[in-house]
Amino acid sequence: MADEMAGSKKGLGAGVQAVAAVVLVVGVTGGIWGLSRVLPQHNADEPATCSEEQGTRPTKHASGAQLCRALNRADLPALLGTPDEHAQTAVGNDSVITLDGGTKIAIPEATVSLKTYSVKLSASDDRFSVAQDVAVLPSAEPRQILGHPAVLSSDRTIALNFGSGKAETGPGGIARSLLVARDAKDGGGSFEIVIWRQDDVKPDDAALFRVAETVLPTLPGWKNG
């Protein structure tokens, strides 16, 4: 339910180009779009780690830091089909959106980026069922993940280019999104996992499902059965 930008600000300048993918994923809560910061590059030989949690959690279920730690698993590269890679950036953050009428909904989220893939995980405590999303999400496909109702959909990314000292945008590749109900009864609240590649190649749906089936049961607020 959020846009994500993954990239590097190290060495930006004339003749140096950094490209980031901005995922546009529209959900039923009014098309909530959030843009993460451009992340600094760390030691490329060491896997990125999630920052420590700061402040109070805006949701009773999970924080952005918790989602980041759950997503930034040692086996994430293998789940994505790129076992020789490792996390280059890992960040979690918390935001709150306000719906018409003043209702506030916390949206914790985390993004982990590798050389080939980026993965975003977010949680929502809204009252909407996943089944409602089938009617409003573009190209929505009903699915079942671990017995929970889910919706698979696609969106287009935007490439952000810092090649000549100023940001320029252009068409990017495809992002694949899997929205999954917290419980089998689809009583409201959901998790969303989005994957996209750093090139224009379509992401592997099998990789998306492997990540979902492995990560979701470890999250606060996930209800088995």
pLDDT at 166 (0 to 100): 67
pLDDT value at residue 27: 33
Rg from Cα positions in the chain: 17
Give the pair of three-digit tokens for residue 67: 């989602």
Domain locations in the chain as residue ranges: 5-216
Task: Name 82's bridge partners.
Answer: none
pLDDT by position in tens, the chain (length 225)? 334 333 332 332 222 222 333 443 333 222 222 333 334 445 567 889 997 655 445 456 689 999 999 999 999 999 999 999 999 999 999 988 787 888 777 789 999 999 999 999 999 887 788 988 777 776 789 999 999 999 999 887 776 666 666 666 766 678 999 999 999 999 988 999 999 998 889 999 999 999 999 999 999 989 986
| pTM of the model as a whole | 0.76
- Distance, C-alpha 124 to centroid of its chain: 12
Q: Is 139 exposed, middle or buried (0-12, 13-18, 19+ CB in 10 A)?
A: exposed
